[in-house]
Amino acid sequence: MASHPPRPFRGSGPLRALFGLLMISALAGVLVAGMALPFVGTAGLAAKSASDHFEDIPDDLKTPDLPQRSQILAADGSVIATVWGDFGNRVIVPFSAISPNVWQALVATEDSRFFQHGGIDIKGTMRAFVSDLGGSNQGGSSIAQQYVKNVLVLQAGNNKAAYADATGDSVARKVRELKYAIAVEQKFSKTEILERYLNLVPFAENVSGIETAAERWFGVHASQLTIPQAATLIGMLKNPVAYDPAKHPQAATDRRNTVLDRMSDPTVHYITPQQAVAFKAMPLGLNLQPQHSGCIYAPGSSAFFCEYIEQEILNDPIYGKTKADRAAFFNRGGLTIKTTMDPKTEAAAEKAINDNVSATDVPGAAIAMIQPGTGQIKAMAQSRDMGTGEGQTYLNLAADPAHGGGNGYQAGSTFKSFVAMAAMEKGLTPQYVQDLPYQIDESQTKFTTCDTPAGFTQDTKWKPTDETQAEQGPQTMTSALWNSVNNYFIKLQEQTGLCEPARLAAAAGLTIDSDSGAGKRLEQIGSFTLGTNQVTPIAMANAYATIAARGMYCKPTAISSITDTSGKQYPVATPDCHQTIDPSLTDQLTGMLQGVVDKGTGAKVRDYFSGPAAGKTGTNDSRLMTWFDGYTPNLAAAVWVGVVSPKPGDKGLVNVKIHGQYYDKVCGGCLAAPIWGEAVNGALAGTSPPGFSVPELPGDIPAPTQPPTTPNPPGTPPGQANGGQNGGANGGFIGGFIGGQ
């Protein structure tokens, strides 16, 4: 029976009677058309017309694949979320997995002559029409006819015209159902028809099919349904909403009792009258199970991992040429989607975030964790849960726009790593010394780019400074990384040019993200090394995973397999790994970045994690955003803490309380680094991570040979944020970057 029962004819008595007689005549004509029985008058003409139409209908009903619910699983097989589309929560089961009580209740109630007729019960149909003349609206369709109608409703989908055609009161619809029902009976056995019918029919509350109905209202499988339970569910089919036992228990009880009476009828005799009496005295005995469809019901931050998976399927052409095709593939369901998410790593990431940043704090926080050498995303977590309430969001703070995220965040001094590699590629060593003042004047400096090999002169108003005056004087490349000395790397860009570090960053996987998922080239401006480009935590985690994998870039992946209920495997993105950076460069960088954790700005990592670690802190202009991006030999992670949607005039994370702790100035080393250490420690607990293949490099700073060439501005306080009051120009140049801590 369809979810929308046919409406009875609403005319006056004589008109209603005439309509009924014509319908009977027409249908009778159809049924005996091949027998050449004579009909005369109006009824005969109606029968001939219906018979002609009957012959024009195709013999075979196209039965579509039934939409089913899908499950999104973690790497260990545990369920992250269950999802289904517009056509209901359905799990298809074979006939052998359906209790006989179910089909007996169905046959007794809907089609008692089911096993005797060939798809059309002429006696039942005629009886129903005669009964309808008296206003009782008695159903007369066979189970095969009801199956046909439900198939046509399913095929109609959201097409209103097709739905109206499948459910209307026209003779044409009845004729079509009759012929298709005969074809169904010829094509399938009786048990196959029952199986298909019981897997197809809609119940209330977006439940479809007997297995999910048994689960929803009684908490059992269809194979375990008792006689009164089966009678309750079959009774719903007449009007799923009116007989919903959870919302209308008395109506559902009365309807169940009617089904039990029919099951005890002598013509079917599936139960005895005494059994019927006993069962009717029983309460409904509901055991309601919740229905949760969608990523929003996944626990905590795994909801965003789940959403990332859904968007990955909707964006990937291997699942359909158009987005509509891919949406149809996903909504058809019946899929088991296994992801790369490691529950242990995810739990560690989420705990580290929640231990340091509260959902309602001014800043948000996010972490992405990726396995070097595979690109597999092992975890993504954030401080704000999915939703619309206080401290909630639907924005994936770790992802790009194509996966439910934003446009990223300025990376701060984490980009100094790419300038360092570019310098070593030019032949400079980790011991290369520059002796620089606290503040430098770039008015005469020329930076070359990929497009301007002759270079461009920096805006004369930009006078970048270090984080503190203590950083002025000689520094090696290694010590400058340890302490994140801004001017060292700004001046280093004169020798590397901006094209080379931008190329190395791109080789590690960094681009500017867009809604389409296609990245564009990073901006090559003087503050490149201070992280003016906007990137996502997933992109930064993967870039540092490339460094951990000794220059082997792997495209981030989150899906390991997709199969349907038949066991068919669908393609997934194959690992896209290739060497993009010379291992000698990444090895030297790893040797330097180990000291950032042991002796430099990332030292708070060691409050939580004692294993091998290398990484880089970053803090952007006005302290709106802070980072720690780092890696062990077998796990890379990027932590971002910052203002989610900064506005002009925002003061940044200064004099702010976060998770109950007061910060006068938030920095990458004082908040992002501890989160990273706690998350990695939890993820790798119980394992023995391998050591780095390269030793930590020394960062000895030679004694100064001469005083700084440019004195500090009079009255400049220690720790001033790099002259942020001096705006920049030249292609969107942003001055005033902290970059370091």
Long-range contacts of 193-196 (CB under 8 A, 24+ apart): 193/143, 193/144, 193/147, 194/95, 194/98, 194/103, 194/106, 194/107, 194/143, 195/94, 195/95, 195/98, 196/63, 196/147
pLDDT computed for residue 343 by the predictor: 98
Alpha-carbon dihedral sign for residues 270, 273, 275, 278 = positive
Q: Nearest CA to 393 among 349, 352, 363?
A: 363
- How distant, in Å, are the alpha carbons of 265, 269, 350, 369 from that of 683? 64, 62, 11, 10
Q: What is the pLDDT of residue 517?
A: 55
pLDDT in tens, 66-90: 999 999 999 999 999 999 988 789 9
pLDDT score for 274: 97
pLDDT band at 459 (very low <50, low <70, confident <90, very high): low
pLDDT at 602: 98
Give the list of residues 6+ apart from residue 435 with CB closer than 8 angstroms, or none.
473, 474, 475, 704, 705, 706, 708
Q: Are 541 and 637 in contact (CB under 8 A)?
A: yes
- In angstroms, what CA-CA distances link 279 with 61, 228, 329? 39, 6, 44
Cα 473 from chain centroid (whole Å): 50
292: pLDDT strictly greater than 80: yes
* 19 has pLDDT over 50: no
The mean pLDDT of 373-395, rounded to a whole number, is 97
The torsion angles phi and psi of 276, rounded to 5 degrees, stand at -60, -45
Q: How far is it, in rounded angstroms, from Cα 308 to Cα 379?
A: 11
Residue 395 confidence (pLDDT)? 97
Q: Is the pLDDT of residue 167 over 60?
A: yes
Give the mean pLDDT of 619-647: 94
- Residue 56: predicted pLDDT: 54
pLDDT at 15 over 70: no
Encoded amino acid at 244, one letter: D
Residues 6+ apart with CB under 8 A from 163: 153, 156, 157
Higher pLDDT, 339 or 526: 339
pLDDT at 13: 40
The mean-pLDDT minimum among 31-35, 160-164, 456-460, 538-542 falls in 31-35
Q: State the pLDDT at residue 201.
A: 96
Distance CA 51, CA 465 (A): 92
pLDDT recorded at residue 143 = 94
For 581-606, the pLDDT digits (tens) are 999 999 999 999 999 999 999 999 99
Mean pLDDT, rounded, of the chain? 85
pLDDT on residue 171: 75
* Amino acid code (one letter) for 542: N
The span from the CA of 532 to the CA of 512, in Å, is 11
Predicted confidence at residue 156, as pLDDT, reads 82
Lowest mean pLDDT among 399-403, 456-460, 717-721: 717-721
Tens of pLDDT along 398-412?
A: 999 999 999 999 999
Q: Could you tell me the pLDDT band of residue 49, with boundaries at 50, 70 and 90?
A: very low
User: Could you write out the DSSP letters of every residue in 662-679?
Assistant: EEEE--IIIIIHHHHHHH
SS3 for 688-722 is CCCCCCCCCCCCCCCCCCCCCCCCCCCCCCCCCCC
Q: Count of H helices and E strands in the chain?
A: 22, 22
Give the pTM. 0.83
User: pLDDT at position 155, please?
Assistant: 85
Closest alpha carbon to 69 in 314, 327, 295, 334: 334
Mean pLDDT is lowest, of 22-31, 58-67, 652-661, for: 22-31
Residue with tokens 């319908």: 23
Burial 474-490 (b: 16+ CB within 10 A, else e): bbbbbbbbbbbbbbbbb
- What's the rounded Cα separation, in Å, for the pair 104 and 523? 71
What confidence tier does 157 reach under pLDDT thresholds 50, 70, 90?
confident
Containing H/E element for 680? helix 673-683
Q: 165: pLDDT confidence band, cut at 50, 70 and 90?
A: confident
* H helix intervals, 264-322: 273-280, 302-315
Task: Give the mean model confidence (pLDDT) for residues 170-175.
Answer: 76
Using the Cα atoms of residue 326, residue 327, residue 332 and residue 334 in order, give the sign of their dihedral: positive
The whole-number average pLDDT for the span 485-491 is 93
pLDDT at 413: 96
> Exposed/middle/buried for 376, CB within 10 Å: 0-12, 13-18, 19+?
buried
What's the pLDDT at 706? 54
- Gap between the Cα atoms of 580 and 558, Å rounded: 21
Structure-model confidence comparison of residues 139 and 705, the more confident one: 705
CA 133 to chain centre: 54
Q: Each residue of 110-144: pLDDT tens digit?
A: 999 999 887 566 665 555 444 433 433 334 589 99
Counted residue by residue, the chain has a size of: 741
